[in-house]
Amino acid sequence: MTATGSPLQVPDVPAIPGLAFRRWRGLDDLHGMAAANQRARDDAGAEEVINVEAMTRTYTHLENCDLDRDLLVVERDGVTIGYVRVAWRDLTNGTRQFFSFCVLDPAERGRGIGQALLSWSEERLAEIATTVPNDRPAQLFSYTYSSDVAGRVLLEKNGWTEVARGYEMVRPTLDDVPDVPLPPGIDVRDVDETDRRVTWEAAREAFRDHRDEQEWGEEEWAHFLGEVPDMSLAVIAFAGDAVAGGVWNVIDQAANEHHGRARGALATVWTAAAWRRRGIARALLARSLVRLRERGMTSAYIGVDGANPNQAMDLYSSLGFEVATSTIDWRKPLAAAGRRLPEQER
């Protein structure tokens, strides 16, 4: 696939020797993009790692994103130092997000490159918004690592507002895992590939009332197939024949090699609405820690929305998880997309 569309115009480009902005050239770009992304993750102390394989899964199953027009790559002296990708998605709460995913090598921050990426993304999102039906409330969305001070300053001065935080929480050891009983009428059963779709459907329904949850379609199913490869690690609760809740656990060998550790991830945790507040999640989490320990892991981590309405952070803390890193979610009115700062403020 090669770049097409209108001539590339990037606003607010700083005068830096060797700096160049260009369009997407195809999947080979993912090598440089993944490297820049991982440098940003390492700087933030992020648990999850990124590589070309994971990015290929994502970039071959994108929705509402035309890579030839919706991706901007920035290079310095021919080396990829960052990129921004824009798209839109409908959420289960009836709103629409026009979002930008921006990556910039930490060594290049605070030099005006981020402003160029942001200005371009806002202008492109404003353009995209004119091509989709105006049938639901819409806003711009982005996020930064909490440690990215330059990113925070940039978004604030461009009219973005912090709305929530996400956290990576780590349990440093898998010792002393409590024995948590399941409530009456609930049992945990072994699952395999034949159960994959039914557990995914149950999770999709359970997440519908979560903050900023997008509609799960077949593209999300395709992501799930690649991101949760081993169903034998899953801990799933049943109430009769119905799925009452579950935890999809993952052992990411690439992440463990990168960080030099043996850590498992409680990648997705959910309880069906009818079974919440009965201790199911706590019991499944405890069993997940034991399962990871049985597979040779010595620690575990989990991601959580700080605005989770079901007091998830308190639950995880009670099981020995501690906050390790965090991200900030940002919003901006769609009507303000592409509004330019005075030159002296850029």
The pLDDT value given to residue 229: 81
Considering the domain boundaries, does residue 132 fall inside one?
yes
What are residue 322's DSSP bridge partners?
Answer: 170
* pLDDT interval class at 342 (50, 70, 90): low
d(CA 82, CA 40): 9
Summarize pLDDT for 234-274 with one digit per residue, the tens: 999 999 999 999 999 999 999 999 999 999 999 999 999 99
Q: What domain count does the chain have? A: 2
Q: 336 and 281, same structural domain?
A: no
Q: 26 and 148, same structural domain?
A: yes
Summarize pLDDT for 72-98 with one digit per residue, the tens: 999 999 999 999 999 999 999 999 999
Q: 183 and 61, same structural domain?
A: no
* pLDDT interval class at 3 (50, 70, 90): very low
Q: 158 and 186, same structural domain?
A: no
Q: 95 and 140, same structural domain?
A: yes
Cα angle 299, 304, 310 (rounded to 5 degrees) comes to: 120
Q: 183 and 160, same structural domain?
A: no
Report how far apart, in Å, the C-alpha atoms of 183 and of each of 186, 237, 274, 276, 335 are. 6, 10, 13, 11, 49
Q: 87 and 212, same structural domain?
A: no
The pLDDT value given to residue 148: 95
Q: 130 and 49, same structural domain?
A: yes
Whole domain around residue 264: which residue ranges?
174-297
The pLDDT value given to residue 346: 46
d(CA 128, CA 96): 12
Phi, psi at residue 87, to the nearest 5°?
-170, 180
Q: 207 and 122, same structural domain?
A: no
Q: 23 and 146, same structural domain?
A: yes
Summarize pLDDT for 6-16 with one digit per residue, the tens: 679 999 999 99
The pLDDT value given to residue 135: 93
Considering the domain boundaries, does residue 91 fall inside one?
yes
d(CA 205, CA 215): 10
Considering the domain boundaries, does residue 311 fall inside one?
no
Cα angle 93, 95, 99 (rounded to 5 degrees) comes to: 120
The pLDDT value given to residue 119: 97
Q: 62 and 155, same structural domain?
A: yes
- Determine the distance from the C-alpha atom of residue 154 to the mean position of all C-alpha atoms in its chain, rounded to a whole number: 21
Sheet strands (E) in 231-345: 235-239, 242-250, 263-271, 299-305, 322-333
Q: Which of 326, 343, 328 is nearest to 168 (CA)?
A: 326
Q: What does R_g of the chain's alpha carbons equal in angstroms?
A: 21
Instruction: Judge whether residue 194 has pLDDT over 70.
Output: yes
What CATH number corresponds to the domain at position 282? 3.40.630.30
Q: 203 and 186, same structural domain?
A: yes
